[in-house]
Structure 1
Amino acid sequence: MNNMTRSVWRPVRFALLVVGMVGTSALMAATALVAPSAAQSPPTVAVAEKPRLAIRAIAATPAVTAQAKVDGTDNALMQIEQGADVQLLSAIEATRRFEIVARADLPSIIKEQDLTQSGNVNVLDPQAARAFQLAGARYVATLTISNYQEVVEKTELLNQFGTSKAERRTINLQAVLKIFDSTTGSLFRSTQVTLSESAVNEIMPGVEQKGVKTNVVLGAVAKKLASDVANAIADSLAPARVIGYTLGQITFNRSAESGVSAGQIYEVFVPGSAMIDPDTGEQLGAEEVHVGWARVTDAGARFSTAQAIEDRGIDRGAMLRLRTQGLPAGVDPNAKVTGSSASTPGAASTSASPSAPASAPAANAPTTNAPATNPPSATAPATTDPAAIAPAASAPIRMAIFVKQRPVSVAPEKVSVFEDLVSADSTGPGVQIIRREDLVNAVNRIAPAGPNAGTDLLGSEAVDRILSNQTSAVQLAAQMKADVILTASITALQRFKRHLDDPTTGTHTDVDQWTLVTTYGLIDGVTGASLAAGTVQSDYAKRDTPELKVEVDAIDVLLRDAASRIGAAVRATVADTRTRLAATPAADVMVKFSAVLADLSIPDVRTNEAGEYVVGANNYNLQPMNVMVKVDGVAMGAAPGAFPLRPGLHRARFERPGLEPMEMMVNAREGLEISVPLQFTPEGRANWQRDAVFFNDLKNGAVMRDAELIKVRAVADFLRQSNIRLDTTNVQNLNLGGQSIWWQLLQ
């Protein structure tokens, strides 16, 4: 089971819809896919293997080493390098996120293997070292010290005992951490580590001291360097994850030993749309969508807990990232939320890390064909065809296919040829084809909404824009009632000509070679997440000699090969993910939205026994009514209120006259409640400040004068006319301790 596994078992349903687009025209065809038997068993949740990590020895650049030698600090630098080297392995092991393979200690291991090979060790012993059996490492980390500075400050201090000598030793160090993906040789992540540590030593008069007490700073620097680098590696390859969420308390898989401490602020993310390089087709990971803030309350030995401050859809499996600069402006540091996770235990273990590159299935990376003198075969291997595995389900599968043309060198009529080929190679029996008019209507309804509003995009540009946005893609799938959307694009076509005329050998040839690049993507219609994506390069060559002339439509040959391999990839993905896709879309969940005016409140004013109006200790937040809620570009109703949404990520927009519109991403789950902070427009804020500025001068317990009561009534009129209510959620009885003036004025 790979990293696309979902914890919910549902029979597979797909919908297929084919559209080829040239300019603004849409050419559509449909094709079929097979659903598995409903009698299959639910998949078991597999425990993910820890990624293997190799750590290279820490070293300074030659220039830094040379400068340290000139300054006489080369021995101190060497102590830091060697000390951090030893502690780094222990610090990474403490994260319990990786399987460490030996690299810095490789000579010792090779010697042990050589000893076995020498004949002095029982080779039949199952625990004897074996040559050529070293474990490979998916990731390789290197740390290079790029700057090293040691500053020693000395002074003499006069005290009651005489003159003492004091010394401060400060070490400033910068290093660059690089993490490479050894399977591709590419740089996965690079980050800078900066630290500064000091130690002070004071020698009292008459005291003889041997040794240098400030050498303690060397150990402190080595330990801090190892800890910071270990945390940076863990955050890059295996970010902290929410493993429990109950009544606002987040439990996450980081410990005190990995640097967590009470009071730290963490930002909470969930994986969003897959990011694919448009030039190379390389999968770059996934977007990180903000869903909340949290403050650490306890750092434990195996896990830590935090109090959620903001919740836009925190759930098991969400990522946490330390924010050293604290909460951003506009987030109430005293806020507490009481949400709970809606997912089942174990779901987090099956989700893919959006940061680390996932291992793509074989279907996602078709091999490149070498130039051939014969047309490549369009027949896919039988082992990858899901039609041979399971009979068609009773419910038809619905898939949408969009075929697009990029290069002008490919004739427009070839798009329909490619469309038919992709349709035929991607599907099988048991598929319901979505009508062309349904597709066109769905695109036309979605194009002017949400992030596409005001663009007036048509045809292929509109579809590109819709499918590039996760929420719009989900909305398009819902409009078409499609379970899966497949996009295929003719991306590039190149032609090379070679002529050879060698009289000495009597060789005369003309070689024509064509290279066609196509891309594809498979999108889950329920969540908008990418199921598969890749780039296919098809090559074809023909050779003419004086005795033989070959005439062939190379474009058709290349399109047939590309469609065959895209189809094989799609069928393999369907077969691989059939245990993770739903027979029916996930049931809607109710999400409650309310609004509050950011950074604005009014003081409590109550009558005392003498009938005077007295300023109270409480402040009431202001809650605007009738805030229009739009989700994925579709108007849902007015807040405050609860609305049914599909589980997963959605783009929500909140609008109301007199207030600035606001957009946010929400991760919908059952029972989620979100309070949206809105702000007045400049005109509305000016009106508010004109009427309510006097609140700033009121003190708790002060008796209000008649002039101030007149201003209070003016504020009440403003709130009533603006349809803004007081948020009394935390007040059980508004008239407890005397009647509230706001109750009299606003009821």
Structure 2
Amino acid sequence: MKNKAIVISALLLLSSAAAGWCGGKKIICVLDLEDKSSHGHGWQNVGTGIAEMMVTALSETKRYTLIEREKLESVMQEQRLGASGAVTAQTAAKIGRLLGAQFIVTGAVTEFGTKDSKIGVGGLEKVLPFGGGAKMAKNTARAGIDVRAIDTTSGQIVAAAKGEGSKSSAEFKGNLSIAPSFDFGKDGFDETILGKAARKAVDDVVKELTAKFDEGGSSAVKIIKITGNQVYINSGAADGEKEGRTYSIYRAGEEMTDPDTGESLGSEEEKIGTAKVVKVTPKYSIAETKAAVQKTDVLREGK
């Protein structure tokens, strides 16, 4: 019964997302980021907070359909996956498919914290964790994010982006206003120097991802079979396919592995040629190419 419920919920998610596929907007899911920062004690769920900020920023571009966080949490629980943010490219792609997403964004928070250049007495240099009560000459907050976007069809990395934010205050007295009691994006967090640093890092990532999606990070079209210089693809009139459309053909490159954990990080793609659609049927199409294609190659519209 439980397995049946999981299948039904996944089908409902896929059917609800189908309209978004036809509407032209890319469907994106943002996983909780892994917290690799050494921010000391106090802050909890940093990766979740930054991920939620990314969802908001991506949604505000009006370019994408974002998977709701509640749906993501439900699927993560059903698949018995942790919320640490540390998942392989293959697992991320599986989660995205269950949610009906075309792309899934995953990665890590690489930096999140503050440095106090001087405390109240004697000009002592010291790095402090979060907290309040000290007088200081300067307080600098930094945030860093490193993410990648994975195509859920092919499991390949189609875009990567980094963002950094740094904000300082000439003088703070008493409460530093960066205590962990502040919620991400709420209760004035965005107005703190750490909030501003995090926002800058998020905005940088969203800007870079948007540019890469626009230049060719489209959903992958798969090859059904190859006959001579013709390739049969799983995109037909029902998917909005049109004669004359030109695709770039990509092949998965060398698999990348995390040197610390040994986990697969997926692989980047190499462009090997182009293909032009010459015939469209309701469920599939035929494209012609001069490239020496393989059935495992994928097609993407764009450069």
Please state which band the TM-score falls in when normalised by the shorter chain.
0.3 to 0.5
Using structure 1 for the length normalisation, give the TM-score: 0.21
Task: Kindly name which structure, 1 or 2, has the bigger radius of gyration based on alpha carbons.
Answer: 1
